[in-house]
A and B are shown apart, each in its own frame.
Chain A
């Protein structure tokens, strides 16, 4: 297991390097630059600005400088938020985005797995149909529909939770965004769990477990569940990607000051450093989640450790 873990971990750094390098050059391929839309800018001022930010240098030199900065945690200055470094912007927004993202994934697993297992165990009963019906809805309804709906119900009609906005240290502002973000993931995980648990329950080794006279609980938790969770763990990687992109929508629906808006604004403004900073951070988060998923997978299924 240790060898397997080291192998997986050592794969992360090169992958991240490739992502950063590819993004750096691809972004520059897009037409336009950070100072283009301010049409009134006289050419000599624009040149000065570009010189100040090092944009007049050859691309490779800029790339080398950027990478050197990254090594010491410096994402460079933002081109549009003039008084802030990208590091500062991300440090402001990331805690919120990270909190709702992680909480959503966690919630999705904590709710989705038991729901799916319940549906499998109560196959073809009302609970099964109820859960699977909910799952179809959860997957089909996009966040920008569910979010406002939740805000309406819980914020306006019931008045138990804030409709939108954020104040630090007030976790109730995060409840609806987290649930909105988690809902499709819950639905998907429930379906995955149900399908794979049904399959595992029919397998020969579960029959062996029952032949040993084990209680249904022991058969389920010790013999069936771990192998049945393999597809769920494989889904964790894509789920993170989903939550990362989903948080863009949810943050804007609920007016949260997370990092989601920077990615959109940064891309529109050609704020190269800001977009790069977001890509580095989200890329690292996604890789990290995939790494955790890989390690979990190795723990669940001893066979993959030897490949």
Chain B
């Protein structure tokens, strides 16, 4: 991108690989993306596409047997392979993450107020008293009802949605410049979801927070994201501005994804079409384009030669035969 943009996070050629007893698993393959201050990138793709793995790698939170290659820079500072102590100072403070599974992501034996306050004690040198008072405000900000009472409750006393909001409060405690949110609103009902999303939006606008939003919900992407990256089998198959991708997807997978997902803004008579077949197993990479077995087009070239990402119509697309604008079947 242009150097005028101040990128908060730059990911370059990121790969994550596991050597397991039954063969190597390529969870993430050669992903590059950038997120600027105040910007949101939506990361979409089917289950197992490598969305969580890619950003856990950025956080330095992968299992010890993960082999990570590439670069990830937070405001110019390299994160991968960085000194653990320096990394700790960033994590939870400048760089925060909301995890996918709220039911198991909180410590069962610590009251939630202290789980929030702890971040402030560690990073902001607050006393526990100050930090707990601040935790109350953070809970209220995350739309937790009856927040004062929640402070002294244990996670098992809270519903999944409440725990999700506690996770959000923890992540936002130190005003991160970069927030990674892995399905942050899945456990929430629609009205709370809207409130959380507007909170995230406000933080992006007012404080210039950058947001990587991992989600299955294209409606959420449409409402919040500036950019979208579509992951398939560990690779980015298409990325670009949200308007372009949702209106005129160039990659057949993006188009299929759009057809398969229910959207509030889609015409009611538009049928939902599930994507046939399965994504390739990360244990057995297939030759050619990873999407070709499920692609309607797939001429012979697609079965032998893997398409590289290239610029088409202002987006990055990895497809030998991208859909032209006129061919777009989806009307928005």
Residues of A within 8 A of B (CB): 202-205, 207-215, 218, 222-223, 226-227, 300-303, 306
Q: Which of A202, A213, A301 contacts B63 (CB 8 A)?
A: A202
Is the CB of B272 closer than 8 A to any CB of chain A? no
A78 → chain B, closest Cβ, in Å?
49
Contacts known (A208-B99, A222-B110); A215 close to B88, Cβ less than 8 A: yes
Given contacts A213-B119, A214-B122, A303-B156, contact A205 B108 (CB under 8 A): yes
Q: How far apart are the CA atoms of A144 and B92 in the complex, in Å?
A: 54
Q: Let me know if B91 is at the binding interface, CB within 8 A.
A: yes
Q: Contact partner of A212 among B63, B92, B101, CB < 8 A?
A: B92
A-B contact list, 25 entries, CB within 8 Å: A203-B104, A204-B104, A205-B104, A208-B99, A208-B106, A208-B167, A210-B61, A211-B96, A212-B122, A212-B170, A213-B88, A213-B91, A213-B92, A213-B119, A213-B122, A213-B123, A214-B122, A215-B88, A222-B110, A223-B107, A223-B110, A301-B108, A301-B109, A302-B108, A302-B156
Q: How far is the CA of A301 from the CA of B109 in the complex (A)?
A: 6
Q: Measuring CB to CB, which residues of chain B are less than 8 angstroms from any residue of chain A? A: 59, 61, 63, 87-93, 96-97, 99, 101, 104-110, 118-119, 122-123, 154, 156, 167, 170
| Contact between chains at A211 and B110 (CB < 8 Å) | no
Taking CB atoms, residues of chain B closer than 8 Å to A306 are: 156
Beta-carbon contact of A213 and B90 below 8 Å: yes
* Contacting residues, chain B, for A208 (C-beta < 8 A): 99, 105-107, 167, 170
Set of chain A residues within 8 Å of B106, measured between Cβ atoms = 205, 208
Q: Is the CB of A204 within 8 A of B99?
A: yes
Query: Smallest Cβ distance from A195 to chain B, in angstroms?
Result: 17
Instruction: Report A-chain residues with C-beta under 8 Å of the C-beta of B88.
Output: 213-215
CB distance from A55 to the nearest CB of B (A): 55
B59 surroundings in chain A (CB, below 8 A): 211
B residues near A214, Cβ cutoff 8 Å: 88, 92, 118, 122
Per the bound structure, the CA–CA distance linking A222 and B101 in Å amounts to: 21
Q: A204-B101, A218-B122 are in contact. Are A210 and B108 (CB under 8 A)?
A: no
Contacts of B99 in A (CB 8 A): 204, 207-208, 211
Give every chain B residue within 8 A of A227 (Cβ-Cβ).
107-109
**Distance in angstroms between the alpha carbons of A303 and B107 in the assembled complex:** 12
Tell me which residues across on chain A come within 8 A of B104, comparing CB atoms: 203-205
Name A209's closest neighbour in chain B (CB-CB). B107
Given A204-B104, A303-B154, is A210 in contact with B109 using a C-beta cutoff of 8 Å? no
Report if A300-B119 is in contact (Cβ < 8 Å); known contacts: A212-B91, A213-B91: no
- Determine the distance from Cα of A218 to Cα of B118 in the docked complex, in whole angstroms: 10
Closest to A123 in B: B64
**Cα distance A302–B108 in the bound complex, in angstroms:** 7
Task: Give the docked Cα–Cα distance between A213 and B97 (Å).
Answer: 11
Closest 10 pairs (CB-CB, A-B): A213-B92, A213-B91, A212-B92, A204-B104, A302-B154, A204-B105, A205-B107, A213-B88, A208-B105, A303-B156
**Among A208, A300, A306: residue with most chain B CB under 10 A:** A208
Contact check: which of A204, A212, A302 meets B118 at CB < 8 Å? A212
B102 to chain A, nearest CB (A): 9
Contacts of A204 in B (CB 8 A): 99, 101, 104-105
Docked complex Cα distance between A227 and B123 (Å):
25
Query: Is there contact, CB below 8 Å, between A210 and B156?
Result: no
Kindly list chain B residues whose C-beta atoms are within 8 Å of the C-beta of A223. 107, 110
Question: Which residues in A have their C-beta under 8 angstroms from that of B96?
Answer: 211
B85 to A, closest residue via Cβ: A215
What distance in Å separates the Cβ of A230 from its nearest Cβ neighbour in chain B? 9
Judge whether B170 and A213 touch: CB under 8 Å: no
Task: Give CA–CA (A211, B93) in the complex, Å.
Answer: 9
Residues on B with beta carbons closer than 8 Å to the beta carbon of A207: 61, 99, 105
A209 contacts across to B, CB distance below 8 A: 107
Is A212's CB under 8 angstroms from B105's CB?
no
B87, B109, B123: the one contacting A226 at CB < 8 Å is B109
Min Cβ gap B86→A in Å is 10
What is the distance, in angstroms, from B85's C-beta to the closest C-beta of chain A?
A: 8
Interface centre among A203, A204, A300, A303 (most CB of B within 10 A): A204
Q: How far is the CB of B214 from chain A (nearest CB, A)?
A: 15
Chain A residues positioned under 8 Å from B93 (CB to CB): 213
List, in ascending order, chain A residues with CB within 8 A of B97's CB. Answer: 211
- In the assembled complex, the CB of B118 is this many whole angstroms from the nearest CB of chain A, namely 7
Q: What CA separation (Å) do A203 and B99 show in the bound complex?
A: 12
Q: Which residues of B contact A211 (CB under 8 A)?
A: 59, 61, 91-92, 96-97, 99
Interchain nearest-CB distance for A77 vs B (Å): 51
Additional A-B contacts beyond A202-B63, A213-B119 (16; CB < 8 A): A204-B99, A204-B104, A205-B104, A205-B106, A207-B105, A208-B167, A210-B91, A212-B91, A212-B92, A213-B93, A213-B122, A214-B88, A215-B88, A218-B122, A227-B108, A303-B156
| Alpha-carbon separation in the docked complex, A81 to B89 (Å) | 71
A207 CB to closest chain B CB (Å) equals 6
Chain A residues near B167 (CB-CB < 8 A): 208
Task: Please report the C-alpha to C-alpha distance between residue A211 and residue B61 in the assembled complex, in whole angstroms.
Answer: 7
B-chain residues with CB within 8 Å of residue A226 when the two chains form the complex: 109
